[in-house]
Amino acid sequence: MNFHILTLFPEMVEAGLNTSILKRAIEGGFITIKATDIRDYTLDKHKKVDDYPYGGGAGMLMQAQPVFDAYKALEKNMDNRKPRVLFMTPQGRRFDQKFAEELSKEEDLIFLCGHYEGIDERVIEEIVTDEVSLGDFVLTGGELASMVMIDCISRLVPGVLGSEESAVDESFSDGLLEYPQYTRPEEWMGKRVPDVLLSGNHKEIAKWRTAKALERTKEKRPDMYKDMTDKLDTFKSQNPKKFRKKRSLEEDLMKMRELTAQMSEETKENEE
């Protein structure tokens, strides 16, 4: 997968993303990350890319021409394909795990990072396909928001994480918060690791983790808990023969995961 960032601060973006897991993913050829300096495309001899807004107002706006020309240069290198262009703005669609999963299926993504008081609306209308927000707050520029999104999306690209299960097991991946986790020593400050995690019984460990994920989600994100239980109820009503046996909530959820995975594999086989 290829990430392209249109920015006034390429060094900031490349330094922040070329570390840890993402660095290994780049070296492994699973993703590429390239920042394009919008200033390289200005026609102004002083490399100016902003000007005062028409109608007055505080601050400066990024001009349309250098942004557009930087985008067209990227598009040309993609054999004139039309990739999705994401503009970071509080006015946009809220970024979440579901949106990240959708974007992770793209071959190329372009992130347009505004600065100053924003960007001339005309170039936004011309090239942007998706306006995206991290939340109801304002940042100095779109670079930090882009970096957060690229980190999140990259983790969903096959091969980036050491195990496909790593992305599946994390918070939000299946509609629940992540279960508690522990490492050595077995006891610390009087607190012991739960016995089930030391038992070696993988079935019971999976059941405990699912139960704890449900418990944590119900306590901290009741909205997500309701969505998950509603989804489970719907699935059970659609597959009544698979749920004749009375089980606990966590066992029903594990059964739904198992059946969903089987259905997905059968669909892939039929498509092939």
What CATH number has the domain bearing residue 134? Answer: 3.40.1280.10
Residues 122 and 180 in one domain: no
**pLDDT at 170 (0 to 100):** 56
Residues 198 and 154 in one domain: no
| Token output for 224 | 């997500």
Asked whether residue 101 falls in the same domain as residue 19, the answer is: yes
Give burial (CB, 10 Å; 0-12/13-18/19+) of 189. Answer: exposed
| 182 and 266 share one domain | yes
Could you give the CA distance from residue 55 to residue 64 in angstroms, rounded to a whole number? Answer: 17
Q: Are residues 99 and 189 in the same domain?
A: no
- Answer yes or no: do 194 and 72 share one domain: no
Same domain, 158 and 205: no
* Of 162, 183, 206, the domain-final residue: 162
5, 34 contact by CB (below 8 A)? yes
93/88 Cα distance (integer angstroms): 10
Sign of CA dihedral 180, 183, 189, 194: positive
Q: What is the pLDDT of residue 163?
A: 64
Residue that finishes a domain, picked among 103, 127, 162: 162
Please check whether residues 55 and 112 belong to one and the same domain. Answer: yes
pLDDT of residue 79: 82
Q: Are strands 32-37 and 2-7 parallel, antiparallel or unpaired?
A: parallel
The predicted model scores a pTM of 0.85
Domain CATH code at residue 247: 1.10.1270.20
- What per-residue confidence (pLDDT) applies to 167? 57
Spatial distance between the Cα atoms of 112 and 118, rounded to a whole number of angstroms: 11
Last residue of a domain, one of 128, 162, 196: 162
Q: Is 50 helix (H, G, I), strand (E, B) or coil?
A: strand
Q: Which domain holds residue 97?
A: 2-162
133: tokens are: 């927000």
**Domain check: are 178 and 47 in the same one?**
no
The whole-number pLDDT of residue 80 equals 75
Q: Which of 209, 211, 210 is nearest to 182 (CA)?
A: 209
If one counts the domains in the chain, the total is 2
pLDDT tens digits, one per residue of 41-77: 999 999 999 999 999 988 899 999 999 999 999 999 9
**Nearest 10 degrees: CA dihedral of 157, 158, 161, 163?**
150
List the chain pLDDT tens, one digit each, 272 residues. 999 999 999 999 999 999 999 999 999 999 999 999 999 999 999 999 999 999 998 889 999 999 999 999 999 999 878 899 999 998 999 999 999 999 999 999 999 999 988 999 999 999 999 999 999 998 999 999 999 999 999 999 999 997 655 555 555 567 899 899 999 999 999 999 999 999 999 999 999 999 999 999 999 999 999 999 999 999 999 999 999 999 999 999 999 999 999 998 898 788 77
Strand partners, 266: none
- In this structure, are 144 and 200 located in the same domain? no
Do 154 and 117 reside in the same domain of the chain?
yes
Residue with tokens 């719907």, as numbered in its chain:
234
- Domain identity same for 10 and 109: yes
Give the pLDDT confidence score for residue 106 in this predicted structure.
Answer: 97
Q: For residue 156, give the amino acid letter.
A: L
The residues pairing with 2 across neighbouring beta strands, listed in sequence order, are 32, 108
